[in-house]
């Protein structure tokens, strides 16, 4: 069980006990309040009964006096006296109603009997006052049976109310005693349970934390193979142990990655050293040609006699070719430097890709023929126009055709252009039947300063920058370049470009 679940269950148990205590307190308060209300009502009913008894007795005495006077004298009741007596009877009725308002279900029967007897008595008294001045009226108010019946019902009600008041007092006493006992028991139980749960949680947490501490000390000391597996908790402490184990795994992986990065850095430094050696060789070859032919021309111009213009023209052509090779190499280095520093910009213009493809194929046709290769241009109808950098598009094609020609002897080179699937618009594939590449060589062929094999430069020349620049130019124009190849079966480099680099980047 997790620490969170243990704490939650402990908290719930304490809250349940607390809720029981609070509920008991409110229940006791409510019971005492109800009992007190009933007790007050019983007391109030007793007081009303006493007042009503006195009012009935007074009214009975007054009725008897008036009945005697009516028989012995000829005095009549005035309207004021009749109104006063009616008001007194109304007061008695109101007092009976007030007594009914404070009566409860347990006294309802006694009250109904009282009200029935009182209605008969008050009706007789009301008729006496109203017909008092009629000589023919024979009053029977001197008969005490109705008065005694009403008094008897009132006494029964008083006795019932007194009995209920005593019961309510006993209920209040029992309720106070019971709630006090439950409160004390709940309080003591809460203290015991809280102490017990606290000790259990402390012991459990202390043991788990000790295991975590031992694990962190082992891992911190460098023992990254150590694992904290003796934590029984499936919650937070278990998650913490898993986090330490994961941290140890990540540290081990990070150390291995750092060692791998160091090896890769060493390999990159070695590749750059090889690149510098290749560049030095590539720079030295055209420079030696430029210097050698320049010295030859200088010596020949210093000789007396006629100048051989054709010979000089051929030498100057070789100087020009070597200068262009040197310029192309320097341009490649500068382009790569601009790309790595983020200073390479696009100069977008709208152009037809088939026109650029024809120009590049025509321009490189002599280079292809030097190695007895055949160049085929396969253009699908309706190629889309591009709003991109035509110069960089041309340079990518030149690099791919130059590479294909360099690694192919007496074979075929095909340039095929088609519409591409979204999000790209144009697909250009350069296929050769040259030496081909293995999967490992394909994986690093687009890396800067790297050639498919270390001995490639010695056999075929080059610096290893061309394909890296092609990849960077394609990505800069919102496209991509890929290769498929097999050793001895040639290679196919495929360039896919969008119609507009801006829209391609927005879609990405």
Q: Could you give the CA distance from residue 274 to residue 465 in angstroms, rounded to a whole number?
A: 12
What pairs with residue 377 in β-bridges?
415
Q: Could you give the CA distance from residue 175 to residue 32 in angstroms, rounded to a whole number?
A: 7
Enumerate the H helices of 342-465 as residue ranges.
353-370, 390-406, 439-444, 456-460
Comparison of pLDDT for 56 and 311, the residue scoring more: 56
Does position 461 have pLDDT exceeding 90, yes or no? Answer: no
Note the Cα 455 to chain centre separation in Å: 55
List phi, psi (to 5°) of 417. Answer: -120, 130
DSSP 409: S
Comparison of pLDDT for 392 and 321, the residue scoring more: 392
Least confident of 158-162, 290-294, 366-370: 290-294
Q: Could you give the CA distance from residue 303 to residue 312 in angstroms, rounded to a whole number?
A: 13
Query: 3-state DSSP helix/strand/coil percent for the chain, to nearest 5?
Result: 70, 10, 20
Q: What is the SS3 assignment for 136?
A: coil
The pLDDT > 70 percentage for the chain reads 78
Closest CA to 196 of 5, 14, 16: 14
Predicted pLDDT of residue 494? 96
Least confident of 324-338, 422-436, 484-498: 324-338
Please state the rounded mean pLDDT for residues 334-340: 63
Q: How many CB atoms neighbour CB 466 within 10 A?
A: 21
Predicted pLDDT of residue 393? 93
* Residues contacting residue 406 through CB under 8 Å, at least 6 positions apart: 460, 461, 462
Q: Is the pTM of this model over 0.85?
A: no
Matching residue, tokens 């680099």 = 501
Please state the rounded mean pLDDT for residues 487-506: 85
Predicted pLDDT of residue 455? 53
* Residues contacting residue 505 through CB under 8 Å, at least 6 positions apart: 478
Predicted pLDDT of residue 458? 46
pLDDT band at 504 (very low <50, low <70, confident <90, very high): low
CB 433 within 8 A of CB 411: yes
Predicted pLDDT of residue 17? 75
Comparison of pLDDT for 75 and 362, the residue scoring more: 362
Task: Give the per-residue SS3 of 61-89.
Answer: HHHHHHHHHHHHCCCCCCHHHHHHHHHHH
| pLDDT tens digits for range 9-20 | 777 877 887 787
Please state the rounded mean pLDDT for residues 239-254: 76
Closest CA to 141 of 93, 77, 70, 88: 70
Does position 203 have pLDDT exceeding 80, yes or no? Answer: no
Does position 364 have pLDDT exceeding 80, yes or no? Answer: yes
Predicted pLDDT of residue 320? 77
Q: How many CB atoms neighbour CB 29 within 10 A?
A: 12
Predicted pLDDT of residue 457? 47
- Between the CA of residue 375 and those of 358, 363, 366, 415, 433, what are the distances in Å? 11, 12, 10, 8, 11
Instruction: Label residue 125 exposed, middle or buried (CB < 10 Å: 0-12, 13-18, 19+).
Output: buried
Comparison of pLDDT for 104 and 406, the residue scoring more: 406
Q: If residue 351 lies in a helix (H) or strand (E), which one and from where to where? A: strand 349-351
Assigned token pair, 437: 């590449």
Least confident of 180-184, 280-284, 323-327, 437-441: 280-284
| pLDDT tens digits for range 130-141 | 888 887 777 777
Tell me which long-range contacts 486-489 makes (C-beta under 8 A, separation of at least 24): 486/436, 486/437, 486/438, 487/435, 487/436, 487/437, 487/438, 488/435, 488/436, 489/433, 489/436
pLDDT band at 81 (very low <50, low <70, confident <90, very high): confident
DSSP 135: T
The pLDDT > 90 percentage for the chain reads 18
Q: If residue 307 lies in a helix (H) or strand (E), which one and from where to where? A: none
Closest CA to 126 of 69, 76, 79, 82: 82
Alpha carbons within 13 A on the beta-carbon side of 85: 23
Matching residue, tokens 């349970």 = 193
Does position 278 have pLDDT exceeding 60, yes or no? Answer: no
Predicted pLDDT of residue 339? 64
CB 114 within 8 A of CB 96: yes
Closest CA to 10 of 253, 161, 205, 277: 205
Closest CA to 446 of 472, 428, 479, 424: 472
Comparison of pLDDT for 56 and 3, the residue scoring more: 56
Comparison of pLDDT for 73 and 36, the residue scoring more: 73
Does position 352 have pLDDT exceeding 90, yes or no? Answer: yes
What average pLDDT does the structure give for the chain? 79
């Amino acid at each position: 069980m997790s620490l969170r679940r243990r704490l939650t269950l402990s908290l719930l148990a304490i809250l349940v006990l607390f809720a029981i205590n609070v509920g008991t307190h409110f229940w006791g308060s409510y019971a005492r309040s109800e009992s007190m209300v009933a007790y007050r009502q019983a007391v109030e009913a007793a007081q009303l009964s006493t007042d009503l008894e006195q009012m009935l007795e007074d009214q009975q005495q007054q009725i008897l006096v008036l009945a005697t006077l009516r028989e012995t004298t000829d005095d009549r009741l005035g309207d004021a006296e009749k109104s006063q007596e009616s008001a007194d009877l109304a007061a008695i009725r109101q007092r009976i109603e007030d007594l009914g308002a404070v009566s409860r279900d347990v006294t309802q029967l006694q009250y109904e009997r009282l009200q029935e007897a009182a209605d008969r008595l008050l009706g007789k008294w009301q008729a006496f006052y109203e017909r008092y001045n009629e000589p023919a009226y024979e009053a029977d108010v001197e008969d005490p049976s109705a008065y005694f019946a009403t008094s008897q019902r009132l006494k029964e009600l008083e006795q019932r109310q007194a009995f209920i008041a005593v019961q309510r007092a006993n209920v209040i006493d029992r309720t106070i005693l019971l709630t006090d006992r439950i409160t004390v028991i709940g309080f003591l139980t809460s203290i015991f349970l809280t102490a017990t749960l606290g000790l259990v949680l402390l012991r459990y947490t202390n043991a788990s934390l000790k295991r975590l501490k031992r694990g962190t000390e082992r891992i911190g000391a460098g023992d990254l193979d150590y694992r904290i597996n003796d934590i029984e908790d499936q919650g937070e402490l278990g998650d913490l142990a898993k986090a330490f184990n994961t941290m140890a795994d990540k540290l081990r992986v990070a150390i291995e990655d750092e060692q791998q990065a160091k090896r890769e850095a060493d390999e990159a430094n070695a590749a750059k050293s090889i690149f510098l050696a290749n560049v030095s060789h590539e720079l030295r070859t055209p420079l030696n040609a430029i210097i050698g032919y320049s010295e030859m021309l200088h010596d020949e111009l210093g000789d007396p006699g006629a100048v051989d213009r054709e010979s000089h023209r051929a030498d100057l052509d070789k100087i020009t070719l070597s200068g262009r090779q040197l310029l192309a190499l320097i341009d490649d280095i500068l382009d790569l430097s601009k790309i790595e520093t983020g200073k390479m910009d696009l100069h977008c213009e709208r152009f037809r890709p088939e026109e650029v493809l024809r120009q590049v194929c025509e321009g490189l046709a002599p280079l292809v023929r030097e190695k007895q290769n055949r160049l085929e241009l396969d253009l699908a109808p309706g190629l889309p126009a591009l709003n991109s950098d035509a110069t960089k598009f041309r340079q990518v094609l030149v690099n791919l055709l130059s590479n294909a020609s360099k690694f192919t002897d007496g074979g075929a080179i095909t340039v095929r252009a088609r519409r591409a699937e979204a999000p790209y618009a144009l697909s250009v594939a350069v296929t050769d039947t040259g030496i081909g590449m293995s999967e490992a060589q394909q994986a690093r062929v687009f890396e800067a300063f790297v050639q498919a094999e270390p001995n490639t430069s010695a056999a075929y020349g080059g610096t290893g920058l061309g394909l890296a620049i092609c990849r960077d130019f394609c990505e800069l124009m919102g496209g991509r370049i890929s290769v498929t190849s097999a050793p001895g079966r040639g290679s196919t480099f495929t360039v896919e470009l969008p119609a507009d680099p801006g829209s391609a980047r927005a879609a990405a």
